[in-house]
Amino acid sequence: MLVFYKQKLAYFAVPKTGTQALTGALRKHADIAFGKRYKHMTVGKFHKGLAPALESSFRLRPERFAVMREPLDQLRSWYNFRKRDKIRNSVHSTVGISFDEFVLDVISDKPLVGRGVGSQFNCLSTRSGKVPVHHLFAYESQSLLLDFLEERFETEITLQARNVSPKGDAELSSEVEAKLRAARSRDFDLYARIQDAGGILRDYTED
């Protein structure tokens, strides 16, 4: 997560949405840069704790922006990412298991291989289900994101691919896809709202 005082922005890094490239391009402009366990701070935690602190201490109420990826495509990225030789011997490795098996594990009550592969909706929402993000971009709308950033930062922004998942086949059966869509319905619904809005959802109004 990054906070920018001059631009009055806060960036939320949703896993597997190009966060390494975006953070790499913007970190030098940031006044606050969270790493390690707080790198992927959720919007809910920020909204409840850090946002009031920034306002009371620095009179800063940054607009929040984030990127969301099509939910099934994001899971494919996770699946292929965990095929890397580096983690072949880890319990999280997807070597030797099908995409169907991986998805079923991810949406189970106690994931093993898919542990840590959380819901994008949960990253972007509060406990009440509200999504307090001012600018929510579709991952596929890179040009819209770059136009927004270059206008706010008043400089050219170049994204360099980092931490990219390896390519690989990841076919999903219709039966498992139906289970996924039921289990992660809020993810699919939110992504559909972004698409319906033309690639940027901007319907959050502060209390």
Q: What is the mean pLDDT of residues 160-169?
A: 67
% pLDDT > 70, the chain = 96
What is the pTM assigned to this prediction?
0.93
Cα 75 to Cα 13, 71, 112, 119, 187, distances in angstroms = 16, 6, 15, 10, 12
Count CA atoms closer than 13 A to 178's CA, side-chain side.
3
Count CA atoms closer than 13 A to 158's CA, side-chain side.
1
Q: What is the mean pLDDT of residues 156-163?
A: 80
Q: What is the mean pLDDT of residues 169-173?
A: 88
Residue 207 binned pLDDT confidence (cut-offs 50, 70, 90): low
pLDDT score of 206: 78
**Which residues have CB under 8 Å from 111's CB, separation 6+?**
105, 117
Answer whether residue 64 shows pLDDT above 70. Answer: yes
Q: What tens digit of pLDDT does each residue of 102-138 get?
A: 999 999 999 999 999 999 999 999 999 999 999 999 9
Answer whether residue 166 shows pLDDT above 70. Answer: no
% pLDDT > 90, the chain = 87
